[in-house]
Structure 1
Amino acid sequence: MRPRFLSSALLSLCLTAFAHAEEIPTNPNRELVSGSPERCVNLRRIDQLEVIDNRSILFFMKGKQIYLNDLPRPCNGLSRHETIMYKTSLNELCNVDIITVLNSVGSGFLPGVSCGLGKFYPITKENADTLKKQSRER
């Protein structure tokens, strides 16, 4: 009877630890968004993008709209100094697509870590400027 109790207790403890290890805090940059998220953005409308930190990428669209992409988990190796690439077979970039960090090597790039995109949150130009300024100060 005792071994069954111990194995049940140990299993419960492991499951609890695993559940807490998976909890990822909310991205504080989302406090600056100004609307409901979108799952996808049209590739043709992307004008430029800027990495803010390992959880946030700003997508500047033609027509002056800006989206904050909130990656679902930190992307180690992604920083505001990095270049990224993405591939998609559709004419949209979506929250199920993958980005790859490109590491500068000599006169070229080598692919580095790959991470999943998150949802695209609309953000005002003023708040995007605030995020960019904060990222430069870090």
Structure 2
Amino acid sequence: MKNLLIVSAACALALSACASSDTGRDEDKAAEALAAFDKTGETESCLSLRRIDQIKALDDKNFLVRVGRDDYYLNEVNGRCSNADGLNTRLQYRTTLSQLCRNELISVVDNGTGMNIGSCGLGTFQKLEKKSG
């Protein structure tokens, strides 16, 4: 049986008031969101679908993945997922596995038309730790 997850990028990142085509501004948004975390150096090739609670598109290249209540991973996608953090788009993937793995495709879907407007391959999941204080 195929698993399907649909994530609303508009709801995923409250820090973003609107989508920006300016790459520098997108990178600034991602850096701001990631400033609350430290990279641990630990990586995973796959994450269990049962463990994934949320995927936030920080920009066209960086996805913040919440696993459980307080565990986070950064996924730097291969290429770009154009407009992944747009107000009227959502992220979508299909997998026959019980895991979401590196190199699987994520699609960016227009909420109004339901059309796929782009896609990209996932990178390695990098474990993050929330900074204290």
TM-score interval, normalised by the smaller of the two chains = 0.5 to 0.7
The residue aligned with 2:39 is 33
CA distance in 2, matches of 1:77, 1:99: 12
Amino acid at match of 1:85: Q
Distance in 2, Cα, partners of 1:80 & 1:104? 10
Task: Identify the residue that residue 77 of structure 2 maps to in structure 1.
Answer: 71
Paired with 1:62 and 1:54, the residues of 2 have a C-alpha distance of 24
Report 1:1-138 matches (<5 A): 32-79=38-85, 81=87, 82-105=89-112, 109-126=114-131
Change (3 A) 1:46 1:72: same
Q: CA deviation at 1:102?
A: 1.3
What's the CA shift string for 1:73-119, capped at 9, x where partnerless?
222232254310111110000012100001121xx632221110111
SS in 2 for 1:44: coil
Q: How many residues align?
A: 99
Q: Runs in 1 of length 4+ with deviation above 6 angstroms? A: none
Shift, 1:49, TM fit? 1.4
**Percent pairwise identity:** 29
Q: Is the 8 A contact 1:67 1:121 kept in 2?
A: yes
Cα distance in 1 for residues equivalent to 2:69 and 2:41: 17
User: 1 or 2, which has the higher strand percentage?
Assistant: 2
Q: TM-score, normalization: structure 1?
A: 0.62
Name the residue aligned to 2:6.
none
State whether residues 52 and 80 of structure 1, in contact with CA within 8 Å, keep that contact through their aligned partners in structure 2.
no
Could you say which structure has the higher helix fraction?
Answer: 1
Which of 1 and 2 has greater Rg? 1
Unpaired runs of 5+ residues, structure 1, are: 1-26, 128-138
Provide the alpha-carbon RMSD of the alignment.
2.5
Superposition TM-score, scaled by structure 2 size: 0.64
